[in-house]
Amino acid sequence: MKNGILCLAFLIPAAGFGQSTGAYSLRKCIETALSNNITMKQTEASIASNKINLEQSKMNRYPNLNAAASQSINFGRSVNPYDNTVVANQQVNSNNLSLSTSVNVFSGFQNRNTIQQRQLNVKASEEDKLTTRNNIVLGVVEAFAGVLSNKAILKSSQAQFESTKAQIDRTEKLVQAGRLPATNLFDLNAQLATEETNIVLAENNLEISKLSLAQWMQVDPTSITDVEEPAITVGESDEKQAAEVYAIAEPNQPQIQAARTRVISAEKGIEIAKSGYYPSLNFQAGLFTNYSSVAKKFVAGSLLETPTLTPLPLLVQDGDGNTVPVIVNQISTIGPGRTEDLNFGDQFSNNLRKGFSFNLNIPIFNNMQNRYAIESARINRLNAQLQLDQQKNTLRQTIETAVTNEKAARKRLQAIEKQIKALEESFRSSEQRFNLGVMNPVDFLMAKNNLARAQNDQARFRYDFFIRRALLDFYLGKELNFN
């Protein structure tokens, strides 16, 4: 049923479909409308957006990985970041590098419920697209039937006009022959003027109906020159009560499915809000290092070929407890050391540090935010349920109206067809009597106008029945082959 909406337009087999006549078929009108409709494109964009949100929520289950780097330049008195010593009157260039990761271990099943909720949102938006599709198809079918109806009325008006012209030609000859009075001709000429006006009105109505169809299709109105007429038959219908039709339609209508899906989504929203009461656990780990342009390392001196004596002052106490300086010569076999700059690679490895941590957050009191979030989620769930109930109620009322209208349209069309048969016999008899001069023009024109009105009503009733029958079959889920 979801994918069978296009079948609505083709429930009644078409005559002449598939032929290259240059006229728009109902199938072509629907395909064009669906392709050009902006609302359809908006629903497709909404589906794409919801799918992105779903994929994002799925990725939240995985760890993140971030690298960071910073460059600092300090002048004057500053701290050497390599060994935290103070340096003065120097330019210090330093870098900090890090690589860190974190992952949510537990957050009260928030991620799981969020993923499920967004899956439901995608499903609901897809159902919205089908609902929009249905509305477009129904609108196109109604506009298409309006064109057919006005086209038939115009054809009937033109036929009446030609019939009256032919009758005037016959009456002129009879008047010239003296068999009919001239007043008969005057009345027919007045009737001809009226029927010419009716043609103009029918042409205007046809153009308006073509404009409506073009607007549904969102094409240039001048491109619709003609439409193909489906073959409409009025057979015995499978009489069903509105409750039976509703029972068939309700489980399959996309607007009902979308509303029902949003109720489930709102229930997931309550579960997401409740996750605020649970403790959350995060894991973090990282690698860190740094570099300093003033970092130094000490390099010991080399062995001396000739040992040297190095005076070494010492402090000793004499017998009276007095401190007395004493100079001792120390033999040195190693030369003095020196300092060298540490390169980037050495500092990278020397300063490398690693670490990880578990962070547990236990909610105790958060200004009642969790409680209010749950209450708000419950209200959203109530609104979603009310929207579902409203959709069901609207569908029920629509089906009740559709069943009633289909029965009325069927009976009205059957009655007008019987009436036309009777009026056609009456008009033929009246025409013969009028030509023989035994009927006055007033009675003749009344019979002619009665037949014309009935024929116009038949055109309207036929296409009204076409719409009502198609709509009811749509709700019944019928899919007939178009071929």
Query: DSSP letter at 436?
Result: T
- The answer to whether residues 274 and 369 touch, using CB atoms and an 8 Å cutoff, is no
- The answer to whether residues 94 and 81 touch, using CB atoms and an 8 Å cutoff, is yes
Separation between Cα atoms, residue 448 and residue 369, nearest integer Å? 80
Q: Report the pLDDT value the prediction gives residue 236, as an integer from 0 to 100.
A: 57
Give the architecture-level CATH label for domain 2-66+108-283+369-476: Up-down Bundle (1.20)
Report strand pairing: 78-80 vs 85-87: antiparallel
Phi–psi pair at 451, nearest 5 degrees: -65, -40
Phi–psi pair at 182, nearest 5 degrees: -65, -25
- The answer to whether residues 61 and 107 touch, using CB atoms and an 8 Å cutoff, is no
Q: Report the pLDDT value the prediction gives residue 15, as an integer from 0 to 100.
A: 34
The rounded percent of the chain whose pLDDT value lies above 90 is 40
Q: 325 vs 308, 315, 360, 414, CA distance in Å? A: 22, 5, 63, 137
Q: Report the pLDDT value the prediction gives residue 2, as an integer from 0 to 100.
A: 42
What is the amino acid identity at position 26?
A: L
Q: What torsion do the CA atoms of 338, 341, 346, 349 make, to the nearest 10 degrees?
A: 100
Query: DSSP letter at 302?
Result: P
Q: Report the pLDDT value the prediction gives residue 446, as an integer from 0 to 100.
A: 82
- Which residues neighbour 334 within 8 Å (Cβ) at sequence distance 6 or greater? 300, 301, 302, 303, 304
pLDDT tens-digit map of 224-270 = 988 887 766 655 556 778 899 999 999 989 999 999 999 999 999 99
Element housing 397 (H / E): helix 369-435
pLDDT < 50: residue spans in the chain: 1-21, 480-483
Q: How many helices (H) does the chain have, and how many strands (E)? A: 9, 10
Separation between Cα atoms, residue 12 and residue 93, nearest integer Å? 83
Q: Report the pLDDT value the prediction gives residue 20, as an integer from 0 to 100.
A: 37
Which structure tokens are listed for 231? 């073959």
Q: Report the pLDDT value the prediction gives residue 304, as an integer from 0 to 100.
A: 66
Question: What are the residue ranges spanned by the domains of the chain?
Answer: 2-66+108-283+369-476
Helix then strand then coil, % of the chain, to nearest 5 = 60, 20, 20
- The answer to whether residues 217 and 32 touch, using CB atoms and an 8 Å cutoff, is yes
**What does the H/E/C string look like for 93-144?**
EEEEEEEEEEEEEECCCHHHHHHHHHHHHHHHHHHHHHHHHHHHHHHHHHHH
Which structure tokens are listed for 190? 């007045």
